[in-house]
Structure 1
Amino acid sequence: MRLSKPLKIIIGVIIFFTLPSLLLFGFAYFKYGEPLPAATQSEAGDAMAKNMLKALNYEAFQNTNIIEWTHKRRRHYKWNKEEHTCTVYWQEYKVDLDLSDYNKSKCYVHNFRVEGDTGDELLNEAISFYENDSFWLVAPYTVFDEGVTRHIATLEDGSKGLLVTYSPEEAYVWKLDANGFPKSLKMWTDQLPFGGIEMSWNDWTTTESGAQLPTFHKFMVFGIQLNDVVGTK
């Protein structure tokens, strides 16, 4: 059967856009994909986690009340830790998240309060943004959150890392330098196409409050930029 010219063009466009993606995926999978490493000694994991927090000056982070940042130049956040609130800005939208009770949050379009279905959609979107984007800013400081477990993991290259598990579907391994400071994070989550993807955590800034927060993460040619990172007491 001969293909019509329009169909040939469509197929060609599909191949043009999907083949490089498939090749990149295959390269990344065989180069970086790996199973979740075996873990032992939870007490030693706690000790490694405490050493990491000490290297990060966790006390300064605890004493930081206001944290602001912009995620990939798309969304801006102003987080008030003491009041357990965070205002999320993107496009023409603003959501004042109540982190203690999402139902008390307020949603705005062009500074006009909205409720009902529109408000619910904006609220759910803001919650999703906040939970994802705040991870890339403060993940190391959450290793002793409720429900989180900590173990020592042995990676494929023989090095030791801090395995942090949030749920059966969400686990991470922190790779630390000689002083216990985080330098990269390997990930195993159901949101990724394969496990073992490693993102850098080596571009840090010290805020006015003394808290240390990251400004950039990199995997291969991909990056997550955090701009306008501010921390005050």
Structure 2
Amino acid sequence: MKRIFKKVLKIILALFTLLFLAFVALYLIYNEPLPEGSKPEKADILAQKMLTAIHHEAYVQTKHIEWTFAGGAHQYKWHKAKGEVEVKWGDYKVQLNLADPTKSHVFQNSTELLNASKSEIIVKAVNFFNNDSFWLVAPFKVFDKGTKRNVVLLEDGSEALLVTYSSGGTTPGDSYLWKLQNNGFPVSFQMWVKIIPIGGLEATWDEWKVMENGLYLPSSHTIGPVPLDMGEVRAYN
């Protein structure tokens, strides 16, 4: 038994060492400090240009949005007009009231939960929605309450839009540097976020689809070498 324990311990230590070295390598390759921005008035014009390119007016009028996340593990039917969203994962379904989550309904295997665990599931649903919906509609949130916008000059001479969320969501304080085409269409953003220890990690925003109501939404992203599929995205009135 001692020999088996030692072998298992060696394997665990070896795996830990490999993971640590991989993290160090990624950190050295990708990590960047948060850039300093300026010209907030010009940044607002740049943000408006981006919103125009992706048909913000259609987003305002959109009543329903559906998508999946994490390889289909999280499923969403968002009744945007009512401020309600159906969130499904595993055995759970939450009819989430976005204005007042305490009024939400939680089901496990079709049975409504009324015990103390209900609150924990609601919190989890809110966190899932905040994260997963951001990957779908982040460009439309650049003027949310608590946001700050600045212009950052890139090495190629182009201007990028730096958006910092000082409040709201699950992780306030996060910053995103949007890189745009000349017409304002988003191409990618770099992230400085609490849940990712590598600053400046870049995610693509170039797999766009036109919804049936004219709205542009992304169908997938790539974060470094990792793909992130949004599933069958739908938006309609």
> With structure 1 as the length reference, what TM-score do the two structures score?
0.93
Match of 1:52 in 2: 50
1:33 paired residue among 26, 31, 41: 31
Match of 2:190 in 1: 186
| 3-state SS, counterpart of residue 233 of structure 2 | strand
Measured against aligned partners, the alpha-carbon deviations of 1:110-164 in whole angstroms (never above 9, x if no partner) come to: 1111122121111111111111100100000000111111110134665421000
Structure 1 regions of 5+ residues with no counterpart? none
Measured against aligned partners, the alpha-carbon deviations of 1:33-86 in whole angstroms (never above 9, x if no partner) come to: 111101101001100000000111111111211000011210110001110100
| 3-state SS, counterpart of residue 116 of structure 2 | helix
Give the CA deviation at 1:180.
0.9
Stretch moving more, 57-66 or 16-25: 16-25
Aligned counterparts of 2:200 and 2:7: Cα–Cα separation in 1: 37
Give the CA deviation at 1:204.
1.1
Aligned counterparts of 2:177 and 2:162: Cα–Cα separation in 1: 4
> With structure 2 as the length reference, what TM-score do the two structures score?
0.92
Aligned counterparts of 1:209 and 1:64: Cα–Cα separation in 2: 8
Which aligned pairs between 1:59-208 and structure 2 lie closer than 5 A? 59-72=57-70, 73-155=72-154, 159-167=158-166, 169-208=173-212
Aligned counterparts of 1:151 and 1:86: Cα–Cα separation in 2: 32
Match of 2:169 in 1: none
1:11 paired residue among 9, 12, 17: 9
Give the CA deviation at 1:22.
2.2
Measured against aligned partners, the alpha-carbon deviations of 1:77-106 in whole angstroms (never above 9, x if no partner) come to: 000111010010111111001111111111
Aligned counterparts of 2:29 and 2:158: Cα–Cα separation in 1: 17
Aligned counterparts of 1:63 and 1:225: Cα–Cα separation in 2: 25
Aligned counterparts of 1:61 and 1:219: Cα–Cα separation in 2: 25
Aligned counterparts of 2:120 and 2:154: Cα–Cα separation in 1: 41
Q: Which runs of 4+ in 1 moved over 6 A?
A: none
Match of 1:215 in 2: 219
Identical-residue share of aligned pairs (%)? 39
| 3-state SS, counterpart of residue 79 of structure 1 | strand
Q: Is the 1:37–1:154 Cα contact (8 Å) retained in structure 2? A: no
**May I ask how many residue pairs the two structures share in their alignment?**
230
Give the CA deviation at 1:176.
0.7
Change (3 A) 1:28 1:156: farther
Alignment RMSD: 1.6
Change (3 A) 1:139 1:56: same
Stretch moving more, 156-165 or 110-119: 156-165
Change (3 A) 1:5 1:155: farther
Aligned counterparts of 1:36 and 1:160: Cα–Cα separation in 2: 15
Name the amino acid aligned to 2:133. S
| 3-state SS, counterpart of residue 151 of structure 1 | strand
Name the amino acid aligned to 2:208. W
